[in-house]
Structure 1
Amino acid sequence: MALCIAFLLYIWTPFLQAANEVSRPCVFPFIFEGKLYSTCTTNGTRKNQPWCSVTSNYDKHRRWKPCTLTEYGGNSGGKPCVFPFLYQRRTYYTCTRKFSKGRFWCSTTGNYDINRKWSYCADNRLEESYPTQPCFFPFMYRNKLYTSCTTAGRTDGKLWCSVNRNYDMKPSAVFCEPTEKSPCSFPFMFKNTSYSSCTKDGSIDGQLWCATTSDYEKDSKWRACATEEYGGNSNGAPCFFPFTYKNQKHSSCTNEDEQHGRYWCATTENYDVDFKFSFCADTKLENVEPLETGNHNPPNKLCVFPFIYGGKSYSTCTTDGFNSQTGWCSLTDDFDRDQKWKYCTASDVQSQNSTRPH
């Protein structure tokens, strides 16, 4: 017993009169030796073990806990958090303590409302400056209404959302950083319906979203859709089309050589020369082209064969350049110039066959 006490005192030198309260959450900020801490700290220990106070003033109350560095407990057995997740049909990018008696928790799937799987959050995920509320859509920022995460007002290209209706009146925000880096998967199934673009269906807060696998009902994996370019070493600068990459012209976003499969674009005419890029808006990826969303099967419009795409001539419908297995065609003889297109139908396939030499 004496050895155990000596060991604890060796590790936790500032806590000679402290109470270790593992079941209570960290309180940020807290005061230790007259200084204010907004995160877990190793100060005051001989070992590199982070700790936090469970009251706002450690010097006064001397109550603390070792900080957990991974998720723990819950009915998921400590599986990692998944961000964003839906809880009561709201979009969360951070842990929350709503209805949890003060302890922070997260969903371990993309949709708590469906799967009901959760863990307690690692303490090092929490800090005083990091809000724990869901995104609020739509929100006001500089007298403009936003219905999705935005890079507005930032120079680093990071997506963010307000946790209040009006950011200008009550500035508090979170970064919209998903755990999973995978891009949207178009088309995807949701409630027995196939979606080929981002949708608001099923989202009470109006957040545009997409599945990152072909079947949302099966996998519950999704991401909030970005409506503008973001990140990259251009810090969210707009795409430049067409651009050159590896001596090839690109008239659309590409996921070539991106480790997570995310779609990107050059932000200058020649990536091979300037090496500048941003990640593409998800709302531009339903066909991996920089086009407006909406119906891309306009009535009474016929494919034009042959047509030019990416500097190459096509005499048939193709899936090249599109994140979809559905064939498409140009509505003019030069897609690179006019950016007019549609999904192919049975009559279009017959038309392409009639243009082939016999």
Structure 2
Amino acid sequence: MGRDIDHLHHVGHVVSDMNEGLELYRRLGFRITPPAYPMLSPREGEPPRPFGAANTHANFRRNFVELVSCVRDGDPERIPSDAKLIPIQAPPEHLPRLTEAIRSTVAKIAACLARFQGLHILVFKTPDADAAAGRLSAEGVRHGGVSAVRRPVDTAQGPRVEALRFVELDSGAPEGVGSGHAPEGRLAIAENPTAELLEARLHMDHPNGAVDLVDAVLCVARAALPDVERRYATYLGRPARADGPARVFDLDGSRVTLVADTDLKAILPGERAPALPAFVAYAVAVRDASAARKILEENGFPLRVSASGDIFVPAAAALGAAIVFREVEGVKAG
């Protein structure tokens, strides 16, 4: 198998209310960028208005955690005061198709929220999207080919545009969910940004000391575990190893953890999956777990300890996603 996947690119936390999500993440000790709200004229000649999906990031050197929410029509009070309103320009003849594409994205996010509020997006990182797409095709994995998007990024030198090349994965998608959705959520592979751009990003000095996204936990029905393990072995180009009751795919300084629903409490005491299959937790590496604990306790979060000794905020206190703070010796911050 090829080894064209080298790290986690990001996880996506889908929330019902962006203001509530921002408050949560700031209390958790993350420095969150102002959320971006696309603005689009619904019809030619009408003024643009917030439309589609809003998002923001907790950035690290190599990756990030994304916070995503739907824009609700006619409810300006729900737009955060520091939101970045980004007009989307399109020729009139392209407007219907663009509007429909955005509505499709919103429908996917709404479908995620209908399942549960929490983690619905996992994106892996590759140095070569074309090579990854070629390998996946050769191994019979359905995907959408290499696509590209451009998004604004705040840097020390001012706003810049980041070109992102990615491959949407689509395996066993439920009817109506669409490309890029396996039963557990949206899966994709994204190409690494340039080292120059990574170094120039702002908002990476998190009060909780987080420096890297290092684990994503997927919970599945016990009977489905062997099939899901084979699927992820194909995605990632490597086999899993046993780690207690879990199966773990080791990447470069990060991992993907698979666990059966009957064993979830053994690794994350007190947790239960809101649906099956589901991403139930992610872990960030921190410089000092005791300092992170102090911030979390001061901000009123209940804390538990995982089977591996890491502190975590339970999903019930974090809008549906258990968040693990893992002190990792020699963690790569760049």
- Note whether the superposition's TM-score is higher than 0.5: no
The structure showing larger relative contact order (alpha-carbon pairs under 8 Å, at least 6 residues apart) is 2
- TM-score scaled to structure 1, two decimals? 0.27
**1 or 2, which has the higher helix percentage?**
2
**Higher Cα radius of gyration:** 1
- TM-score scaled to structure 2, two decimals? 0.29
